[in-house]
């Protein structure tokens, strides 16, 4: 679990890169590089206020994967007020 001050979603990852998606820590935030297709799915999930999971890692890495989960919560008291 990683806490971050901000998240950047970059929808320019090419499928020929061999990655499903890539995540990296940038300063005190998180950058997630995803394909244009995943970006469109993410946008739709945000519009619909649905949870969304991004699987990061190489396509041929087997079970060695990282995940970025976008979750909607009902109780905002436990979230960052800033």
Q: Between vectors from CA 50 to CA 60 and to CA 65, what angle results, nearest 5°?
A: 20
Domain that holds residue 45: 6-70
Residue 79 lies in a domain: no
User: Quick check: helix, strand or coil at residue 47?
Assistant: helix
Tens digit of pLDDT at every position of the chain (82 positions) = 667 789 999 999 998 999 999 999 988 899 999 999 999 999 999 999 999 999 999 988 777 788 999 998 887 666 566 5
Q: State the Cα angle at 56 between 23 and 69, rounded to 5°.
A: 80
CATH number of the domain within which 47 lies = 3.30.1360.220
Predicted local distance difference test score (pLDDT) of residue 1: 64
- Give the tokens for residue 23: 């995540």
81 within domain boundaries: no
- Domain assignment present for residue 80? The answer is no
The tally of domains found in the chain comes to: 1
Residue 35 lies in a domain: yes
Residue 77 resides in a domain: no
């Amino acid at each position: 679990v990683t806490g971050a001050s901000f998240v950047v979603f970059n929808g320019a990852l090419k499928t020929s890169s061999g990655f499903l998606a890539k995540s990296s820590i940038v300063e005190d935030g998180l950058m997630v590089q995803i394909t244009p297709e995943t970006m469109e799915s993410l946008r739709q999930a945000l519009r619909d206020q649905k949870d969304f999971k991004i699987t990061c890692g190489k396509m041929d890495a087997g079970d060695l994967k990282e995940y970025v989960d976008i979750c909607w919560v009902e109780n905002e008291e436990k979230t960052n007020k800033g």
